[in-house]
Amino acid sequence: MFFKVKSSDEIFEILKTFAPVGEEIVSISDGLNRILSQDIVCGEDMPHFSRSSVDGYAVVAQDTYGASEALPAFLELKGEVIMGKESSVGVSSGNTVRISTGGMIPSGADAVVMIEYCHLVDERTIEITRSVAPLENIICRGDDCRKGSVLLEEGSMLRPQDIGLLAGQGVSRVFVYQKPKIAVISTGDEIIPIDQEPRPGQVRDVNSYTLSAFCAKEGGVPFNMGLCKDNFNDLREKIHRALEQCDSVWVSGGSSVGMRDMTLKVIESFDEAEILAHGIAVKPGKPTIVARIGHKSVIGLPGHVASAMVVAEVFLAPFLVWLQGGDRRCNDHHVYIDAKMERNVESASGSDEYIRVKLIKRDGKFYAEPLWGKSGLISTLVQAEGLVKIDRHVEGLYPGQDVRVMLFHLPGEENK
């Protein structure tokens, strides 16, 4: 077989050849973190009438010019704007109408004086001790958005305020990209379901659970397809079913040479199958397979959980955003924190190396302490707060060197 070890950059390019998943319609109440598949155009000016932004009195601005504590202006009180209604009385020179925040500006008025600068002299007379400019304290029709403008672009991930804007426009449902359905298959004769008691030589299934949760965290919908023995027909049948139901198939396991070869052979046995990468120049994570069957991606992940997680964090997190149409540059949505290396790390692998680190805070600075441990261990991942990349062109990191830590989770204490 042709030797297809690829660089990280080549892998990103390969992943970008897969098309985003289809669209669906969701209620905006379910829209949080979903990615728009169409531009949203403003259907009506917002607000659709001019509103007061303060509690006070609607006036003709010119009536207040020169008004001060020493020389107040006096205006005749004609009434009050009722919230949610058009005012039945207008304002003209010499008179005023009481208005609350959000109230509709009465006809004739072009400014609002804040209540702090107004005093009721008698039941018909208001004393004004400050001047206002035209449009002061008014939100004009269309100030928030104008009919015909693009409110939100295709590819935007909806945040709470974006959903609020849609609500304000009366848009209750939107077209978004579907959440990619990811089939997770865990292979290996030694793997047993987690509710069983392992016999000597057997271990419980760590990878399905880790990868399914990872997939959900990044906006996918995991389909845990369960365990698969080291058997050509079983694996082929599972992948076949997975391709029917899901947008992408992630097979983990097959760390042994025999099993790796079998996963490759199973993929190649499908019509329209193409192995796009067999091996990535990253450490850990080298024995990764990227393949295409029809128009769907099949990813063969290392069996060692720490290796699988590095590949998932580095390549599959942006891939999931990409599949959701989210970022056409296949960008990095990780959160980073700056730290200094706590001790030296040698790296002469010729690959981009990712080391697991724990953060230590000392004198207001963060230090990244490398966590050593074989990639078959999960505890080092649990102790780790993130990954530090050692570029393939450098030979290691020295103590005190500035590094960026790719965090596994949102910052808590680290952030202070």
Query: Contacting a copy of itself (CB under 8 A), which of 60, 113, 132, 165?
Result: 165
285 belongs to the binding site for a copy of itself (CB under 8 A): no
374 belongs to the binding site for a copy of itself (CB under 8 A): yes
Rank residues 296 and 304 by Cβ distance to a copy of itself and give the closer one.
304
Structure tokens that stand for 169 in this block: 């426009």
> How far is 337 from 335, CA to CA, in rounded Å?
7
300 belongs to the binding site for a copy of itself (CB under 8 A): no
133 belongs to the binding site for a copy of itself (CB under 8 A): no
For residue 346, the tally of other CB atoms under 10 A from its CB is 11
Helix-strand-coil split of the chain, %, nearest 5? 20, 35, 45
For residue 410, the tally of other CB atoms under 10 A from its CB is 8
The residue behind tokens 């098309």 is: 19
Q: Hey, CA dihedral for 89, 90, 95, 96, is it positive or negative? A: positive
Point out which residues pair with 280 in neighbouring strands: 6
332 belongs to the binding site for a copy of itself (CB under 8 A): yes
Cis peptide before 284 (omega within 30 of 0): yes
Query: Contacting a copy of itself (CB under 8 A), which of 21, 35, 128, 151?
Result: 151
Query: Contacting a copy of itself (CB under 8 A), which of 20, 31, 285, 300?
Result: 31
214 belongs to the binding site for a copy of itself (CB under 8 A): yes
* Rounded-to-10 torsion of CA 239, 241, 247, 252: -30
334 belongs to the binding site for a copy of itself (CB under 8 A): yes
Grouping H, G, I as helix, E, B as strand and the rest as coil, residue 248 is strand
* Rounded-to-10 torsion of CA 191, 194, 196, 202: 30
364 belongs to the binding site for a copy of itself (CB under 8 A): no
The stretch among 232-240, 242-250, 255-263, 394-402 that binds a copy of itself (CB under 8 A) is 255-263
Query: Contacting a copy of itself (CB under 8 A), which of 20, 103, 180, 300?
Result: 103
Query: Contacting a copy of itself (CB under 8 A), which of 265, 333, 361, 365?
Result: 333
Query: Contacting a copy of itself (CB under 8 A), which of 38, 39, 48, 348?
Result: 48
The strand pair at 125-128 and 118-122 is best described as: antiparallel
Rank residues 46 and 242 by Cβ distance to a copy of itself and give the closer one.
46
Rank residues 73 and 99 by Cβ distance to a copy of itself and give the closer one.
99
The stretch among 163-171, 243-251, 268-276, 277-285 that binds a copy of itself (CB under 8 A) is 163-171
Query: Contacting a copy of itself (CB under 8 A), which of 143, 154, 234, 369?
Result: 143
381 belongs to the binding site for a copy of itself (CB under 8 A): yes
162 belongs to the binding site for a copy of itself (CB under 8 A): yes
Residues binding a copy of itself: number (CB under 8 A): 112
The residue behind tokens 């949610």 is: 84
Main-chain dihedrals φ then ψ at residue 167, nearest 5 degrees: -60, -45
